[in-house]
A and B are shown apart, each in its own frame.
Chain A
Amino acid sequence: MKTLNKTPEIQKFRKTKTALLICLITLSLALSSFVWFSDELWPGGYNFFIMLKNNIPFARQMFEKDVYSMPKENLSKPQKIVVTNGERRAVFYNGNSDFNSLHDIIKPFIAETMRSEDKVANSQKVSEEEWFNVLRNDELLDTRSIYVNYSLSYSTSLFAHMIGLRNSWISRDISAVKEFTMAPLSENEMLLYIRDSATNDIFKYHVTYDAAGGFLDAVDSYTKNSDMPAPFSFELNLNKNTEGIGEGVVQKVFLNAMITVSTSSVESAVVESENPLIPGGDRADAISDIFRTKTGITRRYTDSSGVLYFVENYSVLKIYPEGLIEYKADNESMGIEISDESVSLYESLNRAIEFSEKVWSAAAPDEPFNVLVTSDLLESESGEYHFTLDYYYEGVPVTVEASSDNFENMNHAVEIDVKDGKIIKYRHFIRKYEKTDKTVTNPSSIEALDTIYKKYASAEEETQIADIFLSYIEKGDISEKSPVWCAKLQGTDETVY
């Protein structure tokens, strides 16, 4: 009887024990998962689950959220596309309307050619003259072609990654890419020319491509409404010393052959700059959290000029009132770890971009991070990379030239030094741009070049111009900004305007 009375109590006790056990198991699993799946709690390279996530695409998809990244999206897009159709020509810049739809036609063709060697019937090295002839529309050539310029050199393997391939057979011929020219031959045949930006060699590929007809249509439709000549510099013989009609005048300024010369004035939007980084407050804490290492004890103070310091054992983070975030690891081995693949350019670049996005989100929450990668992306055997990113507004780049008594001159929106998978130096000039209702009319690029050339100190010597482009100039002041013509000199990073 006594036993019978106790049975419900025992059952109740057992149920409680079971519930408690389930709770404990669930809790232990949850806590273990934090250890298993966290990069933070394992020494670099030893976490099996992280390795699994990084190496198996399916696992990667399972573990990672698909976060949209504007800088990464821009990496796979060219800066300029020039479509030539007989005597008509149209120029499109990243950010212009129609640019993306045109790029959607071009990208699959480049990807298909770089993926499938069996689609290529012939390949050969050709002269620059042939490259020019495919593009020129000033002679008796019925030219139908598309020229694509990425503005920076990519190692071929990185470029393949950027357009969704693991690698490309073309890297046997070409080590670095920047410029492509393509010409539809028929409904299913195309010519693809690629210039090796490291050696300047040009390779021509005769490709079987089922959608070549779409190219022919695109060439027609994208030039239909274009009435501007936009000649390449080589079409005007301004790229080198050539004979003309007459003699006796010495050419002192040479334009890169692929510059498209504007012969009429250009109207552009006036923008207003803003520093969204309010000194002090929650944003500074959120930013410092991104740079905080695992071991460091952070000391925080503000100096007399308003610079906020976060000092750790091996690094210093400074937030300047002008909107500059500056981090430097005193000991390079103690930098911020972004990748365990220390020699992979692709991984280093991706992680560096993700890092800069985190900094931007903390500094300017909910604002779009409109930047382009502006440093060449070439493999480095030392595992050391210097990446730069720059803002742009509606296709017009922003040239940063910020200086102050407080900090070293800043010439890009973001500068990132990565060594062996660690960020050892990071500088980010925080600015956002809003459109005003004002517009400004700039003269033609040739007229502007006269003014630029006069300002250039070494004007007496022979001058090679690598590029002419419109750009907003960011000097750090909060004001309205109109784009101005800028020239980049060959072989230097110098921009003159």
Chain B
Amino acid sequence: MKKIIAVLVLIFTIIISQTCYAAPASVSAWDGGNISGLVIVKKPETAVSTTTKQIYTVSALSLEGVEVSIYKYNPYTGYFDILRDGYGNPVSNVVGATGIYVRDIALDANTNYLMVRAQYGGIYQNIRFDITLMDQGLLDSIQGFATNFGSKFGGW
């Protein structure tokens, strides 16, 4: 009986410890983490960027075994909530041997306030970035103007 209890306690401890270190459902906007140098976001290259792609591919570099997750700002709570895919699963992956992390996310119209969180055991780093999804029609208008401008002032 004692052995069974010991095994149950051990299993419970493992589950609890894993839950503790799994990506949390929400993260504070002001939390930058307790370490740096755990992750680099390669795409987008800058903290503020604009795109016309509704399905956007984020790329990052980290270390093998690090869990990388993507969060999105929730204006109702003021926290960043973990993104979920079409099946309701969190957008979270453990980085493999190459250190490369690539993940598609669906952007909403206008500005998307996002965060990448890299976590390994009790250490973690959060990196914030914003992507604005621009309407293609608006972009076409701007480019039409630019083309006319270009044709009037030369170049090919």
**Mask: chain A, 229-267; 1 = CB below 8 Å from B; 0 = not:** 101000111100011111111011100000001011000
User: Which residue of chain B has the shortest Cβ distance to A204 in the bound complex?
Assistant: B156
B54 within 8 A of A: yes
Which of A307-315, A395-403, A442-450 forms part of the interface with chain B?
A442-450
A208 within 8 A of B: no
- Evaluate contact between B53 and A246: CB separation under 8 angstroms: no
- Evaluate contact between A227 and B55: CB separation under 8 angstroms: yes
**Mask: chain B, 101-134; 1 = CB below 8 Å from A; 0 = not:** 0111000000000000000000001010100001
User: Which residue of chain A has the shortest Cβ distance to B61 in the bound complex?
Assistant: A249
Contacts of A229 in B (CB 8 A): 53, 55-57, 104
User: Which residue of chain A has the shortest Cβ distance to B133 in the bound complex?
Assistant: A87
How far is B41's CA from A247's CA once the two chains are assembled, in angstroms?
9
A139-B51, A236-B59 given; A249·B39 CB < 8 A:
yes
- Evaluate contact between A140 and B50: CB separation under 8 angstroms: yes
**Mask: chain B, 42-86; 1 = CB below 8 Å from A; 0 = not:** 111111001111111101111100000000000000000000000
Contacts of A245 in B (CB 8 A): 40-41, 44-47, 127, 129
Contacts of A459 in B (CB 8 A): 97
How far is B56's CA from A242's CA once the two chains are assembled, in angstroms?
19
B8 within 8 A of A: no
How far is B58's CA from A138's CA once the two chains are assembled, in angstroms?
11
- Evaluate contact between B54 and A446: CB separation under 8 angstroms: no
A residues 433-462 in Cβ contact with B at 8 Å:
444, 446-447, 449-451, 453-454, 459
- Evaluate contact between A246 and B127: CB separation under 8 angstroms: yes
- Evaluate contact between A263 and B42: CB separation under 8 angstroms: no
Contacts of B61 in A (CB 8 A): 244, 249, 251
- Evaluate contact between B45 and A242: CB separation under 8 angstroms: yes
User: Which residue of chain B has the shortest Cβ distance to A124 in the bound complex?
Assistant: B156
**Mask: chain A, 207-245; 1 = CB below 8 Å from B; 0 = not:** 000000000000000000001010100011110001111
Among A248, A261, A447, A449, max chain B CB count under 10 A is at A248
- Evaluate contact between A246 and B40: CB separation under 8 angstroms: yes
- Evaluate contact between B41 and A453: CB separation under 8 angstroms: no
A244-B42, A249-B39, A252-B98 given; A263·B104 CB < 8 A:
yes
A206 within 8 A of B: yes
B40 CB to nearest chain A CB (Å): 4
How far is B44's CA from A245's CA once the two chains are assembled, in angstroms?
8
B37 within 8 A of A: yes
B28 within 8 A of A: no
A335 within 8 A of B: no
- Evaluate contact between A446 and B37: CB separation under 8 angstroms: no
- Evaluate contact between A263 and B103: CB separation under 8 angstroms: yes
- Evaluate contact between A249 and B156: CB separation under 8 angstroms: no
Among B41, B51, B53, B98, max chain A CB count under 10 A is at B98
How far is B72's CA from A81's CA once the two chains are assembled, in angstroms?
35
Number of residue pairs spanning A and B whose beta carbons lie under 8 angstroms apart? 121
- Evaluate contact between B52 and A236: CB separation under 8 angstroms: no
Among B39, B50, B134, max chain A CB count under 10 A is at B39
Q: Contacting B40 at CB < 8 Å: which of A138, A235, A249?
A: A249
A492 within 8 A of B: no
- Evaluate contact between A142 and B54: CB separation under 8 angstroms: no
How far is B101's CA from A236's CA once the two chains are assembled, in angstroms?
10
A142-B139, A142-B140 given; A449·B100 CB < 8 A:
yes
B99 within 8 A of A: yes
Q: Contacting A244 at CB < 8 Å: which of B41, B51, B55, B100?
A: B41
How far is B98's CA from A454's CA once the two chains are assembled, in angstroms?
8
How far is B65's CA from A352's CA once the two chains are assembled, in angstroms?
50
User: Which residue of chain B has the shortest Cβ distance to A449 in the bound complex?
Assistant: B98
B142 CB to nearest chain A CB (Å): 8
B38 within 8 A of A: yes
A122 within 8 A of B: yes
Contacts of A235 in B (CB 8 A): 43, 57
A residues 390-424 in Cβ contact with B at 8 Å:
none
A86 within 8 A of B: yes
- Evaluate contact between B45 and A237: CB separation under 8 angstroms: yes
**Mask: chain B, 122-156; 1 = CB below 8 Å from A; 0 = not:** 00010101000010100110010000000000001
User: Which residue of chain B has the shortest Cβ distance to A143 in the bound complex?
Assistant: B52
B96 within 8 A of A: yes
B155 CB to nearest chain A CB (Å): 11
How far is B59's CA from A59's CA once the two chains are assembled, in angstroms?
59
A348 within 8 A of B: no
**Mask: chain A, 131-155; 1 = CB below 8 Å from B; 0 = not:** 0000001111010000000000000
- Residues of chain B at the chain A interface (Cβ within 8 Å): 36-47, 50-57, 59-63, 96-100, 102-104, 125, 127, 129, 134, 136, 139-140, 143, 156
Apart from A140-B52, A263-B102, A263-B103, 10 more pairs, CB < 8 Å:
A138-B43, A235-B57, A236-B43, A242-B42, A245-B46, A246-B36, A249-B38, A249-B40, A253-B99, A451-B96
13 residue pairs from A and B, CB less than 8 Å apart: A138-B53, A138-B56, A142-B140, A243-B45, A247-B36, A249-B39, A252-B98, A252-B99, A263-B103, A446-B100, A450-B96, A450-B97, A454-B97
- Residues of chain A at the chain B interface (Cβ within 8 Å): 86-87, 122, 137-140, 142, 206, 227, 229, 231, 235-238, 242-249, 251-253, 261, 263-264, 444, 446-447, 449-451, 453-454, 459
